[in-house]
């Protein structure tokens, strides 16, 4: 069992906590991990993208479900110098530890761009993305770890299904606000004592659905 003070928080763990505290407890405190033996469509696509930006050229058969998406991605963002896929950016202070696992980071002189691939079948909601912990943690950790002005950091979400992207810029004032919000949120989780279940529609996407609701789910829904 993990001590909450030792947990390295991420967008995923905070979102899980907000969705259902019991699910958070099972995964991040009791360490009940989900096997990656059956990767879903999204994780397979991320692997293709990672290989491409590392420098591995992979020719896909035209019939493959991800053929068009992968070609869209390559047209959207060509491989260049200074690009690092699947990059972890860690932040730690005396109270909290926070990790951003970014799909791709592009480092230029005094400018950093982070890319995140989304393969969902729904279109982007910019306001939702701007308020998400993913956006806040990615931008926060970059601003803390790199010697770059927050104004020179941006985050681009790209969905190859729709060949559509959204760019989110950052600023000093947003960083100041983010820093306080993220710390308060994580400290409140560290001090949490109640990890009750929260039954709802979200259970259809939870690996513990068979335990809480006696219902099985498909791996693609995770």
Pick between residue 90 and residue 198 the one whose CB is nearest to ligand SF4: 198
Contact 137, 11 (CB under 8 A): yes
32 CB contacts (<8 Å, ≥6 apart)? Answer: 26
In this structure, are strands 111-117 and 83-92 parallel, antiparallel, or unpaired? Answer: unpaired
The minimum distance between CB 181 and ligand SF4, in angstroms, equals 24
Compare residues 110 and 204 and give the one whose CB is closer to ligand SF4. Answer: 204
Least distance from C-beta 187 to ligand SF4, angstroms? Answer: 23
Q: What are phi and psi of 99, to 5 degrees?
A: -120, 140
Rounded to a whole number, what is the distance in angstroms from the first to the last CA of the chain? Answer: 24
Tell me the closest approach of the beta carbon of residue 207 to ligand SF4, in angstroms.
7
Instruction: Choose between 29 and 166: whose C-beta lies nearer to ligand SF4.
Output: 29
Token pair of 158 as six digits = 């790209």
| Least spacing, CB of residue 66 vs ligand SF4, in Å | 29
- Chain centroid to CA 42: how far? 12
CB of 129: closest distance to ligand SF4 in angstroms? 23
d(CA 97, CA 143): 15
Nearer to ligand SF4, 17 or 133 (CB): 17
Strands (DSSP E) found in 9-96 = 83-92
Nearer to ligand SF4 (CB atom), residue 187 or residue 222:
222
- The phi and psi torsions of 14 (rounded to 5 degrees) equal -70, -40
Site residues for ligand SF4 per CB under 6 A: 20, 22-23, 197-199, 202-203, 206, 208-209, 212-213
């Amino acid at each position: 069992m993990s001590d909450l003070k030792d947990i390295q928080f991420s967008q995923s763990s905070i979102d899980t906590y907000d969705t259902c505290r019991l699910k958070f407890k099972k995964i991040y405190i009791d360490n009940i991990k989900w096997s990656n033996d059956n990767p879903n469509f999204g994780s397979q696509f991320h692997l293709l993208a990672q290989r491409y930006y590392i420098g591995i050229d992979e020719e896909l058969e035209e019939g493959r479900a991800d053929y068009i998406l992968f070609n869209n991605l390559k047209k959207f963002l060509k491989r260049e110098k200074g690009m690092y896929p699947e990059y972890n950016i860690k932040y730690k202070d005396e109270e909290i530890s926070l990790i951003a696992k970014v799909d791709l980071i592009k480092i230029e002189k005094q400018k950093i761009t982070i890319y995140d691939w989304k393969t969902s079948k729904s279109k982007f909601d910019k306001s939702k993305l701007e308020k998400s912990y993913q956006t806040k943690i990615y931008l926060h950790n970059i601003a803390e770890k790199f010697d770059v002005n927050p104004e020179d950091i941006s985050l681009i979400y790209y969905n190859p299904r729709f060949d559509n992207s959204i760019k989110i810029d950052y600023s000093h004032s947003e960083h100041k606000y983010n820093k306080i919000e993220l710390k308060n949120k994580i400290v409140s989780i560290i001090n949490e004592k109640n990890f009750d279940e929260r039954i709802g529609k979200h259970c259809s996407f939870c690996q513990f659905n068979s335990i809480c609701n006696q219902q099985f789910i498909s791996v693609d829904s995770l």
